């Protein structure tokens, strides 16, 4: 009888834990967009107050496999978003931060046992990218993630972006560690 009780507890415990983790998931706030793996261009419309404000355009260079991003407001010419090149596009979507949509982009890089997840929010109002990269060495015994943030990560005007990224980072492999500027 005792073994049955222990077995029942063990079977139910993961379900409760998963249900609680699911409730707290920041990913639930994101409207993800399906990405065609063969696509070399992805356009993400961004809304504010129910109206389209801008479009974030991601374009892959087919010879280098690197993604770049630009922002087009209404019918204006696209403006390049500076400071990064992206490799493997994992996920993209929009998230509402205080009534305004921002574009959430997840990228990945890997090699020689080291993996990096890059989490970025594109702030359409300022045309800036706020982000962090989370690196994990799978060949060493260290369990800490290496974290680097964009130079504007701690800027008070990006408080909501920082809060969101700090909350969601564990869902993308963050273990522990102190952030460094990138």
Residue 174 pLDDT: 76
Residue partners of 109: CB distance under 8 A and separation at least 6: 87, 88, 115, 116, 118
Residue 115 pLDDT: 81
Residue 57 pLDDT: 94
Please check whether residue 101 is in contact with residue 95, taking contact to mean a CB–CB distance below 8 angstroms: yes
Please check whether residue 136 is in contact with residue 175, taking contact to mean a CB–CB distance below 8 angstroms: yes
Task: Indicate if the pLDDT at residue 126 is higher than 50.
Answer: yes
> Considering only CA atoms, which of 84, 78, 133, 83 is closest in space to residue 106?
133
More confidently predicted of 141 and 169: 169
More confidently predicted of 98 and 175: 98
Range among 7-21, 23-37, 74-88, 130-144 with highest mean pLDDT value = 23-37
Task: Indicate if the pLDDT at residue 69 is higher than 60.
Answer: yes
pLDDT digits (tens, 9 = 90+) for 46-67: 988 788 899 999 999 888 888 8
Residue 23 pLDDT: 56
């Amino acid at each position: 009888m005792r073994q049955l009780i222990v077995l029942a507890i063990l079977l139910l415990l993961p379900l409760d834990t998963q249900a609680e983790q699911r409730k707290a998931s920041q990913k639930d706030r994101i409207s993800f967009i399906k990405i065609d793996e063969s696509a070399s261009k992805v356009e993400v419309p961004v809304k504010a107050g129910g109206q389209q404000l801008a479009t974030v355009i991601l374009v892959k260079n087919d010879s280098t496999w690197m993604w770049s991003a630009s922002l087009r407001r209404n019918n204006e010419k696209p403006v390049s978003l500076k400071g990064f090149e992206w490799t493997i596009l994992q996920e993209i979507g929009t998230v509402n931060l205080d009534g305004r949509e921002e574009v959430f982009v997840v990228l990945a890089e890997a090699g020689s046992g080291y993996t990096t997840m890059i989490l970025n929010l594109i702030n359409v109002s300022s045309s800036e990218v706020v982000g962090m990269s989370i690196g994990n060495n799978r060949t060493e015994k260290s369990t800490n993630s290496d974290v680097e943030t964009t130079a504007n990560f701690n800027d008070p005007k990006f408080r909501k972006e920082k809060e969101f990224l700090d909350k969601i980072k564990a869902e993308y492999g963050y273990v522990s560690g102190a952030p460094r500027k990138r």
